[in-house]
Amino acid sequence: MSVLPMIDDGHPIEPALETMARETAPAGPQKSLVALAVLLEQTVRLIYPERSPQAMHPGQWAALRYLARANREAATVAGLARYLGVTLAPASRAVSALIRKGFVKGEPDSRDRRIVRLSLTPEGEQLIQQDPILRLAEIIGELPAERQHGLTVVLEHVFERLGQKKGQHKATNPFVIHS
């Protein structure tokens, strides 16, 4: 069974991957696996096409996406840090950037003033409707259901295994599809 993605006609896209893997991959069967990993990395990079200083960075999109779905109790810098699998500092930087851009606001918790509850501003609500991840979801939606399921199983496995390497700052996937 081939682990390489297939073009619609059923042929593997190995020739296209071959160039990417040529200089970095070991010889043998692992060469195709490295090429596949590079293809996955490049695919993820294509989700966020604009990289100007004023553009939203992938981490900021992830934070905005989280805050759009998080309940009030989880909508904090600490909750975001847990979700992203990072320490408080990078989560705080992402939130600060979103506040500066006018997409997020913070209000002290009424019971514990040390906790700041985060929420999207009306501008943030509008921006999340333009989330680049929606285009990826549309493209995945073009696949037949059985391929979507297979992709889900594979990516959940990869996510879980990569998370095991991160240790105590393991990211959590609140959108687990396959159980």
Task: Looking at the structure, tell me whether residues 40 and 62 fall in a common domain.
Answer: no
Please say if the pLDDT value at position 121 is more than 60.
yes
170 pLDDT above the threshold of 80:
no
- What pLDDT score does 99 carry? 97
63 with 118, same domain?
A: yes
| Confidence check: pLDDT of 30 > 60 | yes
Q: 161 or 25, which is more confident? A: 161
Q: Dihedrals φ, ψ of 111, to 5°?
A: -95, -30
Co-location of 35 and 70 in the same domain = no
* Together in a domain, 63 and 120: yes
Determine the pLDDT at residue 169: 47
- Same structural domain, 73 and 96: yes
Domain count, the chain: 2
pLDDT for the residue numbered 48: 86
What's the CATH number where 124 sits? 1.10.10.10
Whether residue 24 is found in the same domain as residue 68: no
pLDDT of 88 strictly over 90: yes
Q: What is the mean pLDDT of residues 19-47?
A: 77
105 domain residue, yes or no:
yes
For 59-97, letters b (16+ CB in 10 Å) and e give: bbbbbbebbbebeeebbbbebbbbbbbbeeeebbebbeb
Q: Within this chain, do residues 88 and 40 fall inside the same structural domain, yes or no?
A: no
Boundary-marking domain end, from 85, 100, 128: 128
| Cross-strand bridge partners of residue 108 | 116
Is residue 158 a part of any domain in this protein?
A: no
Run of H or E including 178: none
The predicted model gives 140-169 an average pLDDT of 85
Average pLDDT over residues 108-119: 91
The whole model's pTM is what? Answer: 0.72
Domain co-membership, 123 together with 68: yes
Mark whether 77 and 99 lie in a shared domain. yes
- My answer on whether 72 and 93 are in the same domain is yes
Q: What is the mean pLDDT of the chain?
A: 82
Percentage with pLDDT > 70 across the chain: 73
Domain enclosing residue 105, as ranges: 58-128
